[in-house]
A and B are shown apart, each in its own frame.
Chain A
Amino acid sequence: MTDTATSGGAATGRPDASGRVTGLILVALPVAMVMTMIVWPIGLAILDTLWLPGPDGTGARFSVASYRFFFSDGYSLGNLWITIWTTAVSTAILMAIAIPLSIYLRFRTGRAAAVVQALAIFPLFVPSIILAYAFVRVLGPNGMVDIILANIGLPRIRSPYLTVWGPVIGFVWDNLPLTVVILLAGLSGVSTQAVEAARDVGAGRIATFRHIILPRIGPSILVAASFVVLGLFSAFTFPYLLGPAAPEMMGPFMQRTFGDVLDPVQARTQAVVTFLFCAAFGWFYVRSIAANRRRMAR
């Protein structure tokens, strides 16, 4: 793409040497920020957790000791496992809700569909901290659900507040809008005629979904899932406020290791472990956005 850009400049007959320098100067500051605040800290985190001072406190050398500690420590592994579990379960529930919902929104118009769309987008405009508070008031002990159950003579619920289900419910609520929006963008490529043609030759709902819709929105589902996984894997607010104290998800775990245990080396080791587990999703997400931009630039 770089070469099309330069040849475009040449085609208009402008050598644009001044533009080249001015351009680099104008973008220097934000690019420098990405380098110093993203690339450098990540690189340093990886290096510093692998080059540790020797037992006498001097002479840094290559060592996997901090990783060996993480992967042999039962508490750390428990936290990693609960993070993987929560991320997987939340993403699965989210997709199970968002895929049918966006298919409905793609092929239906009218008053009810407009209301459903507005409701699906609405959580985007509710800060997660307010949602966390609302969660406690609704699903917490003596919350609204308990009040309603008591009024119709049913026993209280086993509240999901401060259990592993707390963050899951929060994540699903909070991530619904962006997931639906990404899936809808993918579904705009499915033509109504193709679906109608399939129905005309007698394909059922499930067959239509598998053979007509799924092949077209498969990539969008993966993008949405990557986006969600990247957001959830090291999430802090919901697990900290709504989840159990132990085992805890990686977000609160890292925060505690950094802020309370005051062990920056372990905190960074934990951070690098989250990078490793998310690397494939991050790579996929960046690649598809880059491909998308290239397509639009053409």
Chain B
Amino acid sequence: MSTADLRLAWRDVDWTGIVLAAVMAVVIIGPLVVVGLWAFAEVWRFPSLLPQEWGLRYWGMTLGRADVWAALSVSLQLSFVVTLLSALICLPAAYAFARLDFPGRDVLFLSFLTIQAFPRFGLLISIATIFLTLGLVGTFWGVVLIQLVNTLMFMIWIPTAAFQNVDRRLEEAARDVGAGPIRVFWSVTLPQAFPAIAAAILLTFVGTFYETEGAWLIGAPHVRTMPILMISFINNQLVVQLGAVLSLMLWVPSFLFLLMARRWMGPEALGRGLGG
């Protein structure tokens, strides 16, 4: 290679990208690595760069706590119940929005946007004051209701798009060879719409699992979810490692979601969904 070639190759290297990637790796991955280190540190005294003693002692300690298991159980119950109810309420509605023609369809479809159009905590306070008079504050079902509202928009909008994208010609072909409407729906429509519906269900489940503000406002002090337990671990500055171990445990659903989301949605689709 001549010097000119070398210089060209040198200029072709994406230096901006390399610098950006390095800085972002430190700022975005760095803090999580520190949490990971703390979770396996038995002794880490300032100002040592790395823990002096490693071990799993604090994992045993965290897993031995009754409040951790209770919170995990409450969180899972809430997420299952909310996701199930959300699917039962929203999926038929999504089918109707996609396929049926009824008065006010577009206005009603857009009405779910109101959930996003108000500052969330202000909205939660407005709901909470009503729940207070209904005796729903501090109850499991009060938290279910408030978390259910959060899920409506995605659980309707994503499946509606999925039902709209189903190839109508396949349905007509099935009907031509004599399949009844239920058979067509079950064997042709649903399988095509399924990936998007599954994504919406997963999004709802994970979103509900991490929902903090509604659970905190409505559930306190009786309903304690994992994020709320985590808040008390951060605020009360218990043993540092307990928070680190709980963080790693708490990250599992999000990590699984990350793995699956890589397959299902590209950033472009996500951006369009958010109105970009």
Tell me the A residues contacting B by CB distance below 8 Å: 1-2, 5-6, 8-9, 16, 19-24, 26-27, 29-31, 33-34, 37-42, 44-45, 48, 101, 104, 108, 110-113, 115-117, 119-123, 125-138, 142-144, 146-148, 150-151, 173, 178, 180-186, 188, 220, 223-224, 227, 230-231, 233-237, 240-241, 250-251, 254-255, 258-259, 264, 267-268, 270-272, 274-275, 278, 282-283, 285-286, 288-290, 292-293, 296
Contacts and interface: CB of A to CB of B under 8 A. Distances in A.
Given A34-B152, A119-B21, A237-B213, A110 B270 contact: no
23 contacts: A6-B101, A26-B95, A27-B102, A29-B89, A33-B149, A41-B123, A42-B118, A116-B24, A127-B210, A128-B210, A131-B31, A134-B247, A138-B30, A147-B49, A151-B47, A182-B275, A185-B271, A186-B271, A231-B120, A254-B121, A258-B217, A290-B110, A292-B272
B17 A282 contact: no
The residue among A115, A116, A237, A259 with the most chain B CB atoms within 10 A of its own CB is: A116
B105 to A, nearest CB: 6
B29 interface: yes
Contacts of B105: 2, 5, 23
A138 B123 contact: no
For the residues of A in contact with B, the DSSP-based class is helix
Given A22-B96, A188-B268, A278-B119, A270 B17 contact: no
Contact of A108 (B17, B35, B92, B148): B17
A44 B126 CA distance: 8
A20 B254 contact: no
A101 B20 contact: yes
Interface stretch (B55-63, B190-198, B226-234): B226-234
Given A148-B49, A258-B129, A133 B35 contact: yes
A132 B244 CA distance: 11
